[in-house]
Amino acid sequence: MRGTEPVSRRNMVRRNFWIVAVAIPLLILAGDVVYWRIAVERLRTVYRNWISITIDQGWEISSGVALIGGWPWAATVAIPEFTLQHAGSALPGNLKIAAAGVTLSISMFRPANLLISISGPVHLRAADTPDLVLTSEEDWISVSLMGGDSRTINLHATGLRVEPAMAAWHATAGLVDAQAKVVDEVKTLRSEPAAYFSVSAEAIALPTLMKWPLGGNISSLSLDGVLNGPLPESRDVTGWAEAWRDAGGSLAISHLALGWGPLGLTSSATLALDDQLQPMGSGSGRIVGYAATLDRLAAAGTLTKSAATAAKAMLSLMAGPGESDEPSTVDVPLTLQYRTLSMRQVPLVRLPELDWPRR
């Protein structure tokens, strides 16, 4: 009898070990299912709230039946045949966006971050413009769900292609990254910036429909800045612009970098709207390859030959001596007033009038 007690005890320990070994994964699995269901319900609530707010702002929304999924790594809501449409004179005017499908996703490891991805081509139509078709190899939009004084939105796309549905031209970009941080309205009223933004793009191919004086390919473009002034509540486009201008609104570009053909440009500027609602402002820039750039602009008729010659002469004096085998480089002040871009009071180019819609 005594000899069997150690054996029984060992059997009991072994049995308890297997019970615990099986119970722990089951508990983890059950916890993950509960957590997933909570995340799905949160995602549904976010989507319903967005629909309610968007409809109140004058939008029309239609879609197929939403499907949930993503377990065990994420909570997803897939919305087929999604269409978002706005009509009328109110901001943003006549606009229609249609996609084969939109998927909302929350990762189990990042529950405070909403990921939005689009499947199939996206059709975009604004006012009377042609129907544009957007496709990409990969795209997503990330939105922070954390509460606070601001909300951050990130956009990423690779292999982006834009083309009209009924025309023979297209534009492409190898990579597009953008970020916007929108500040809460209450904080904006305390003279804080209304939004921060950052955009970068690479390998941009412009439409061959036009002959571009600096070539049809932009190697790189990046832009950082802030939007100052409270954002008006007006739904009328022109009224919104007037109210934003009258409240001291401005666009401060802290950094712009552009590589296009022979031109290399880095710049900063502050822009606003004048009494005719036309852009005005001032800034400074460093121009690399200005001589070849001005020659191309003059050859294409973008600048007159006399304006190009005068600009080259002035820039050469400002640049000073340089290495003969290096591209010409110069730092210049720039002003934009009455739709004319000038360099040290020498007019370079007159911009087309910004035609605001009637009320």
Domain ranges of the chain: 1-129
| DSSP 8-state symbol, 323 | -
Residues facing residue 152 across a β-bridge: 181
Q: Which of 71, 66, 67 is nearest to 34 (CA)?
A: 71
Q: Which of 211, 182, 178 is nearest to 300 (CA)?
A: 211
- Kindly state the tokens that stand for 296: 């191309």
pLDDT tens figures, 90-103: 667 788 999 999 99
Q: Which of left, alpha, beta for 293 (phi over 0: left; psi -120 to 50: alpha)?
A: alpha
Residues facing residue 340 across a β-bridge: 337, 350
CA distance 99 to 96: 10
pLDDT tens figures, 333-343: 989 999 888 87
One-letter identity of residue 316: S
Contact between 157 and 139 (Cβ < 8 Å)? yes
The predicted pLDDT at position 41 comes to 87
The predicted pLDDT at position 240 comes to 86
Residues facing residue 134 across a β-bridge: 122, 162
C-alpha distances out from residue 271 to 250, 258, 284, 307, Å = 6, 18, 12, 24
CA distance 135 to 172: 10
Count the neighbouring beta carbons within 10 Å of the beta carbon of residue 221. 18
41-55 burial by CB neighbour count: b if 16+ within 10 A, else e? Answer: eebeebbeeeeeeee
Over range 185-194, report the average pLDDT.
Answer: 60
Tokens 């059709």 found at: 123
CA distance 344 to 311: 10
The predicted pLDDT at position 170 comes to 92
pTM here is: 0.81
Kindly tell me if the per-residue pLDDT of 186 is higher than 50: no
Higher pLDDT, 24 or 276: 276
Alpha helix stretches (DSSP H) within the chain = 4-56, 185-188, 237-246, 290-300, 305-319
- Angle formed by the axes of helices 290-300 and 305-319, to 10°? 170
